[in-house]
């Protein structure tokens, strides 16, 4: 047994070593910081700004961290031994999944500018719109006009969501070359969102996917509520696996798994992927779509990366949710994901400054500040 005096000596020793380490780290950090130039790289927080282009004032919160644009505040690879890919693909979902949850309906011209800005920022996969009933989602009622006016960009894929064969025909008539279909892993959300049971909805996509593939289209599948459903509770990972396998067997080229209400944690993400592996679902074709309701989105991305996932959905500004599940928080903000990836040396091909500028521009269009942490922290770029 260790006496009290001996135990105190040991504690004092540990505290002394810990304090010495902190002092050394502080010295290295202070010596390595470059001088901060005036302008965008500044220590002063930007003052709140009011804008009135939209007929209402928009008060911006001041940047609350140092806006180091030229220096990421840390190189996380030195401190965090992560299993991570060299590069990921980001599927930008703001023009569809983001705008459908907004109260304000943007003009077609504004949507086209958003699509151009996202492509200019380096995105190669963008979810452009949805061919659902305009009565169900009036924010995207201009789908035909939008896709007919959208100018193709070399190296950029534009996806349109279709709910059924009628939606597919509408999309194909506009020249759409990549579609997405949407199903739920839970029963209640399927009935509320699609007015069909889960099994009926899944089976109904078989002919839609076949028709699309026969026409040479690329097909992306969405499977929502893969962690939990607000009405049904936790979703069984084996049910997720079975539904995922069915969509892949129908011919989906890629399958995005959605934590639609953002309750998932890294442990649940790995449990879902383990179930998919047991069910012989090709992990290389799996993507994830995280919501940040509980602040877990980036942690879940890291967990998925460690399991081999390299494609993630994100939304500029963090806009989005579900008009059919009001408790769903916003999507993972594209800027937040790119910021993290830059810190751990993962290539995205997306320009952070252009994303931040687009986020603030989009906030002006929508009439409110957007929830992205990075855009709020860095503040609005000079015009």
Q: What are the tens digits of pLDDT across the range 54-108?
A: 333 444 444 444 444 444 444 545 444 568 899 999 999 999 999 999 999 999 9
pLDDT tier at 328 (50, 70, 90 boundaries)? low
Classified as helix, coil or strand, 294 is coil
pLDDT value for 33: 36
CATH 3.30.2350.10 for domain 81-378, yes or no, is no
pLDDT tier at 330 (50, 70, 90 boundaries)? confident
For residue range 338-377, list pLDDT tens digits in order: 999 999 999 999 999 999 999 999 999 999 999 999 999 9
Percent of the chain with pLDDT over 90: 73
pLDDT value for 127: 98
| Average of per-residue pLDDT values in the chain | 84
CA 12/CA 273 separation, integer angstroms: 45
User: What integer is the mean pLDDT of 154-171?
Assistant: 97
pLDDT value for 329: 63
Q: List own/partner pairs for 44-47 with CB under 8 A and 24 or more apart.
A: 45/379, 46/379, 46/380
CA distances to 25, 62, 121, 127, 381 from 95, rounded to whole Å, are 44, 27, 14, 6, 22
Enumerate the CATH 3.20.20.70 domain ranges in the chain, comma separated.
Answer: 81-378
pLDDT value for 180: 98
pLDDT tier at 380 (50, 70, 90 boundaries)? confident
DSSP string, 223-258: EE-SSEETTTEEPPHHHHHHHHHHHHHHT-SEEEEE
* pLDDT higher than 60, residue 48: no
* pLDDT higher than 90, residue 26: no
For residue range 103-136, list pLDDT tens digits in order: 999 999 999 999 999 999 999 999 999 999 999 9
- Cβ pair 91, 256 in contact under 8 A: yes
Beta strands 254-259; 311-314: pairing state: unpaired
- Cβ pair 219, 251 in contact under 8 A: yes
pLDDT tier at 324 (50, 70, 90 boundaries)? low
CA dihedral defined by 113, 119, 125, 130, rounded to 10 degrees?
10
pLDDT value for 327: 53
For residue range 308-323, list pLDDT tens digits in order: 999 999 999 999 976 5
* pLDDT higher than 70, residue 305: yes
pLDDT tier at 325 (50, 70, 90 boundaries)? low
User: What integer is the mean pLDDT of 304-310?
Assistant: 97
Percent of the chain with pLDDT over 70: 76
Look at 8-22, 237-251, 298-312 and tell me which has the smallest mean pLDDT: 8-22
Q: Where do the H-state alpha helices sit in 39-149? A: 108-120, 143-149
């Amino acid at each position: 047994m260790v006496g009290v005096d001996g135990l105190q000596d040991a504690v004092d020793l540990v505290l002394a070593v810990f304090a010495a380490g902190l002092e050394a780290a502080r010295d290295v950090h202070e010596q390595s910081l470059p001088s901060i130039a005036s302008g965008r790289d500044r220590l002063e927080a930007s003052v709140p700004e009011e804008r009135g282009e939209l007929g209402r004032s928009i008060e911006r919160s001041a940047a609350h961290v140092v806006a180091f644009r030229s220096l990421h505040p840390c190189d996380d690879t030195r401190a965090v031994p992560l299993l991570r890919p060299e590069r990921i693909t980001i599927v930008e979902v703001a023009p569809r999944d983001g705008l459908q949850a907004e109260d304000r309906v943007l003009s077609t011209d504004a949507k086209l500018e958003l699509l151009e800005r996202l492509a200019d920022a380096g995105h190669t996969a963008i979810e452009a719109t949805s061919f659902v009933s305009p009565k169900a989602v009036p924010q995207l009622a201009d789908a035909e006009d939008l896709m007919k006016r959208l100018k193709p960009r070399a190296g950029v894929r534009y996806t349109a969501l279709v709910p059924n064969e009628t939606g597919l025909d509408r999309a194909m008539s506009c020249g759409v070359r990549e579609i997405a279909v949407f199903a739920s892993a839970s029963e209640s959300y399927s009935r509320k969102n699609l007015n069909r049971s889960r099994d009926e909805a899944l089976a109904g996509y078989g002919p839609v996917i076949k028709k699309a593939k026969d026409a040479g289209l690329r097909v992306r599948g969405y499977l929502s509520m893969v962690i939990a459903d607000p009405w049904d509770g936790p979703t069984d990972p084996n049910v997720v696996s079975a539904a995922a396998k069915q969509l892949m067997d129908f011919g989906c080229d890629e399958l995005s798994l959605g934590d639609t209400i953002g309750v998932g944690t890294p442990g649940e993400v790995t449990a879902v992927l383990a179930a998919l592996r047991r069910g012989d679902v090709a992990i290389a074709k799996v993507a994830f779509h995280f919501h940040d309701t509980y602040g877990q989105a980036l942690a879940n991305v890291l967990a998925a990366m460690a399991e081999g996932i390299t494609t993630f959905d994100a939304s500029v500004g963090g806009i989005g949710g579900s008009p059919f599940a009001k408790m769903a928080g916003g999507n993972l903000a594209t800027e937040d994901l790119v910021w993290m990836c830059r810190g751990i040396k993962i290539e995205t091909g997306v320009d952070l400054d252009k994303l931040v500028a687009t986020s603030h521009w989009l906030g002006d269009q929508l009439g409110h500040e957007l929830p992205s942490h990075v855009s709020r922290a860095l503040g609005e770029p000079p015009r």
